[in-house]
Structure 1
Amino acid sequence: MGDPLDESVSNGIAAEAIDEDAPETGPAPPESADTDADGGAIEAGGDGMESVEGYELPTMSTDGDEFGPESAGDEPDLTLAEYQFDIGNASFGFGPETVHGMDDRVQISAPRTANYPWRVHCSLLIKAADNSNWIGTGWFISPNVLITAGHVVNIRGSGVPGRDGWVNQIRVIPGRDGVVKPFGEAVSTKFYSVRGWTGNGDGDYDYGAIVLDEKLGSRTGWIGFGTYDDADLRRTTANISGYPGDKPSGTQWYAARTVDSVGPRKVFYDVDTAGGQSGSAVYRIKDGSRYGIAVHAYGGAVVNSGTRINRAVFANMKAWKTDNAL
């Protein structure tokens, strides 16, 4: 019998978990391993990390016919300034940032953010039930489904009247760089999580999904996800790219380090992050493809952590992707 706390719940219609183990892949690479469908580099370096000029692994403990960025337009989007605070603060209060020692993160700037894989990572602008505004991060696993943290889509224990529960809406901006929105944006009002988070507020079950009613991800691509054993994960480089609130608004930042340790429902890593990166993909590069291994959710004094994609989490992600396919 499966863990009842992994039962899928939604503000719409719940999906039924699919019990399969085969890794879900992202789009097949284009004919040239060096460029994507727009001629942008598909950047993968050694040590299982992305190839970013000037960045080295710290030593301390789709391709398809629909690709092509859109113009963000000439008019400034004044609403962007309304979203400044990490969605984690809504459930957990304001806490310390999760950069340990020297900040190893590097900025991924336009026009690079319009290239794969950077365009898979999305800035999320979240409007809660009380109409307060928050920021987070999500990542495409299909043309219209993104994965994020449970506390991004469902707020718990805020202590503010009218704030808890499912958020009202989320604006999804792929590959954002400040005011630059190379693929425009989409708005979602359909979300998923599991009973362990929405009912219990248990951090071991802090994961969820965002569903779009359009195939924005067909133009950005997506990354895969899979389940891996403990020994394999402990040898894996954890890559994280997202939209932290301690950097200029709406800018994407990347860092990577080897996984520190693993538990049945958590992956721990000393990869620098900050508030706003909740929901980011914690992913590996294996045989030239990218696979999520966890969903970034928490900071810590020594290591940060994400919800591990174990069999139950994998089954829900697979169901959310399959049942909502357009």
Structure 2
Amino acid sequence: MPSVLQEEITPQVIIGADNRIRVFDTTTYPYSSVVQLIMHWENNFIRTVCSGKLIDANSVATSAHCFIPSPTESVTRGNLQWVEIIPARNGSSAPFGIAYAITIYALQEYIDNSSSAYDFAVVNVNLDFSDAGSMLVSDLTGAELLVNNFTISGYPVDKALDLGNYYQWYHSGPITEILDWTFRYQIDTYGGQSGSAVYYNNFGVFTIGGIHSAGSQEGQYNVAHRITQASRNYIRLAASMNN
């Protein structure tokens, strides 16, 4: 059956030169814990794509807007039917298998106002991906955000050969501006990477400080939900529901 690939919200942006790097061996950690999510919708065989990160053996952190469309998008797409989760996807290869969403958790605040401040979600899945690894979710201080280099790795649609061949790409850089519930950066991303973890290597412990959400309309920066104590607790509680 034919499918239509649609971007999620305001397209994420390439800032200046495109500095993204392809991950050729996605089975090595931490890239093995990066997942692609494929949302199947009711109308017209529409599929949309996002990225995410395993936070335990059977739970994924990603963006709420991957599952909660705008009113206009709802008319086009209809209801969400099912979600595929593919860790470490490399073209048409799924080295750890393909899982399906059991439960999706997102805040009512995001449903009400679609703000990047609340744009995060947890997906509990039906398979155990222990072999793929996972990452720690942490509410980092402003100092920790500013002094470290962060990476975003995911599955951008502009690098896909076709609907069946998505590849993992990453780019790293500093956080440039910190707000209470979001932060900004000039790390290159594109549609399909919504929900990617914004993470860094904390002396061997790969740690998520934010969830990539959107890009500025002017193309000057990209933005993430900043993991706060409240969102960290929510994410951990939602993940524990599947253990």
Distance 2:97 2:199 in 1: 25
Among 255, 266, 273, the residue aligned to 2:171: 255
Matched, 1:206 2:119: yes
What's the CA shift for 1:160? Answer: 4.5
| Structure with the largest fraction of strand | 2
> Matches of 1:287 and 1:141 in 2, distance apart?
18
RMSD (Å) for aligned C-alpha atoms: 1.8
Task: Specify the alignment match of 1:316 in structure 2.
Answer: 234
Residue identity matched to 2:89: R
Could you say which residue in structure 1 is the equivalent of 2:72? 158
Output the TM-score relative to the length of structure 2.
Answer: 0.91
Decide which structure has the larger Cα Rg and report it. 1
Q: Distance in 2 between matches of 1:159 and 1:183?
A: 32
Assess, with a 3 A threshold, how the Cα gap between structure 1 residues 145 and 294 changes in structure 2: closer, same or farther. Answer: same
Do residues 98 (structure 1) and 13 (structure 2) align?
yes
Deviation at 1:296, TM superposition (A): 0.3
- The code of the aligned residue for 2:149 comes to T
Give the SS at the match of 1:113.
coil
Deviations 1:125-169 (A, max 9, x none): 11124352111101100111101000012222235427366x321
Q: Is the 8 A contact 2:155 2:167 kept in 1?
A: yes
1:114 to 24, 27, 35: 27
8 Å contact kept, 2:34–2:51: yes
Unaligned runs of 5+ in 2: none
Equivalent residue number for residue 193 of structure 1: 106
1:298 aligned to which of 190, 194, 214: 214
TM-score for both structures, normalised by structure 1: 0.68
Give the counterpart letter for 2:70 in structure 1.
Answer: R
1:274 is the counterpart of 2:190: yes
Distance 1:169 1:286 in 2: 35
- Write the distance in 2 (CA, Å) between the matches of 1:226 and 1:160: 33
Match of 1:148 among 62, 72, 76: 62
| Residues 116 and 182, structure 2, Cα contact 8 Å, conserved in 1 | no
1:57-102 alpha-carbon deviations (Å, 9 max, x no partner): xxxxxxxxxxxxxxxxxxxxxx8x846332x1xxx3xx55500110
Q: Is the 8 A contact 1:153 1:192 kept in 2?
A: no
